[in-house]
């Protein structure tokens, strides 16, 4: 998976446009749906406009605030079709083998899905999509649930586009608990939903994978696959030096990650690496701090790791140093922040 900074504008506008159109159906003005996103409404359909994860997150936050529909995220996901995703979607549609199509989706999903990591496994008679939101620091319990619901809807819709309108999951699994303020929450989905699970999953009958794609075409698939390779390479190049440094730090987060070590890894002088990062508007320290914030929040929110263990995993020599740094980042101690996260996730008003 290519490591990309949250602020880097490298993605098409598809996901933002999907949400804006769904809000427009409720009577919400596009300029309100895009408040704080820094994209004029008339630019959403422009193929030259690229957006960042930060902009997608802000759009989703706007949707949570503006929608009157408690089922908005899942139903908006159902509005997504393969045509939304350009060459990536065309490749999905033209695949000759459903199992190969699933592998393709996992390999290239960053071309369309900046807010989740995907895995696909086949377990005996079950096929399972595993969906994990990326550790963006702004993702709280409410936004976490929104992302999962939206992605569930997208997956079901794309499966129906490719496998047929009768496709239906056997079950959904989610790590969060049922919203206490919404007793009819489960009825919104096309299948039973199980709460408090270890992972977010869509489970369906593996027999669906044995079907014959109706629109599969070997020549078309081969051609479009080559184009997706080019798009993926372009995405890699767009990440720039900061993206490569981010990837290096992430791989060495539990060890001593330094500018000197990064320069040695990339076989470039320290001064040159520092200058290139400055030209991209960042620094080694800023990237390191941002990654530590993101991963710390994920650990505090999604695991039972102790504060000592989190400090060690983030490469701090002393737990006290981690506590000082975290208070500087979030104006709260790690313990306080974890309590706030848990309080937010159990809030009936979520």
Q: How far apart are CA 132 and CA 298, in angstroms?
A: 11
Question: Of 245, 267, 272, nearest to 258 (Cα)?
Answer: 245
Higher pLDDT, 212 or 231: 212
Q: Is the CATH number 1.10.10.60 carried by domain 239-345?
A: yes
pLDDT in tens, 275-305: 988 877 789 998 888 888 888 888 888 778 8
pLDDT, mean over the chain: 87
Q: Is the pLDDT of residue 252 over 90?
A: no
CA distances 167 to 38, 155, 278, Å, are 38, 11, 50
Higher pLDDT, 91 or 64: 64
pLDDT in tens, 38-55: 999 999 988 778 888 999
SS3 at position 339 = helix
Higher pLDDT, 107 or 23: 23
Q: What is the DSSP letter of 177?
A: P
Q: What is the DSSP letter of 301?
A: H
The neighbouring-strand residues paired with 262 are none
Pairing between β-strand 193-194 and β-strand 126-133 as defined by DSSP bridges:
unpaired
Contact 80, 38 (CB under 8 A): no
Q: Is the pLDDT of residue 193 over 80?
A: yes
SS3 at position 174 = coil
Instruction: List the domain boundaries for the chain.
Output: 14-122+131-167+209-234, 239-345
Q: How far apart are CA 103 and CA 204, in angstroms?
A: 16
For 163-178, letters b (16+ CB in 10 Å) and e give: beeebebebbbbbbee
Q: Is the pLDDT of residue 241 over 90?
A: no
Q: How far apart are CA 35 and CA 58, in angstroms?
A: 8
Lowest mean pLDDT among 82-86, 200-204, 257-261: 82-86
Q: How far apart are CA 235 and CA 238, in angstroms?
A: 5
Task: Provide CB contacts within 8 A for 338, sequence distance 6+.
Answer: 300, 301
Q: What is the pLDDT of residue 209?
A: 96
């Amino acid at each position: 998976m290519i490591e990309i900074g949250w602020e880097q504008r490298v993605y098409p506008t598809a996901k933002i446009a999907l949400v804006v159109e769904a809000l427009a159906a409720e009577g919400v003005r596009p300029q309100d749906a895009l408040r704080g996103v820094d994209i004029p409404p008339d630019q959403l359909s422009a193929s030259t406009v690229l957006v960042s994860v930060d902009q997608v997150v802000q759009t989703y936050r706007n949707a949570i605030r503006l929608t009157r529909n408690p089922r908005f995220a899942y139903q908006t996901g159902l509005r997504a079709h393969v045509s939304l995703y350009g060459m990536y979607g065309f490749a999905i549609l033209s695949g000759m083998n459903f199992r190969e199509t699933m592998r393709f989706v996992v390999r290239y999903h960053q071309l369309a899905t900046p807010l989740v990591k995907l895995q696909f496994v086949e377990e005996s008679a079950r096929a399972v999509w595993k969906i994990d939101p990326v550790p963006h620091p702004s993702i709280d319990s409410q936004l976490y649930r929104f992302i999962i619901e939206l992605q569930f809807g997208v997956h079901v819709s794309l499966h129906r586009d490719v496998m047929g309108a009768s496709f239906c999951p056997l079950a959904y699994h989610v790590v969060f608990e049922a919203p206490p303020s919404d007793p009819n929450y489960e009825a919104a989905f096309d299948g039973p939903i199980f709460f408090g699970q270890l992972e977010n999953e869509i489970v369906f009958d593996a027999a669906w994978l044995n079907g014959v794609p109706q629109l599969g075409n070997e020549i078309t698939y081969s051609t479009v696959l080559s184009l997706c390779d080019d798009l993926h390479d372009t995405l890699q190049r767009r990440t720039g030096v900061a993206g490569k440094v981010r990837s290096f730090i992430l791989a060495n987060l539990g060890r001593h990650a330094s500018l000197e070590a990064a320069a040695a890894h990339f076989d470039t002088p320290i001064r040159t690496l520092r200058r290139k990062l400055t030209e991209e508007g960042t620094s080694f320290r800023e990237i390191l701090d941002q990654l530590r914030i993101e991963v710390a929040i994920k650990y505090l929110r999604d695991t039972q790791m102790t504060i000592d263990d989190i400090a060690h995993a983030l490469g701090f020599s002393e737990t006290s140093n981690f506590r000082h740094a975290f208070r500087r980042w979030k104006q709260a101690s790690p313990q306080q922040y974890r309590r706030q996260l848990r309080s937010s996730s159990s809030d009936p008003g979520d």
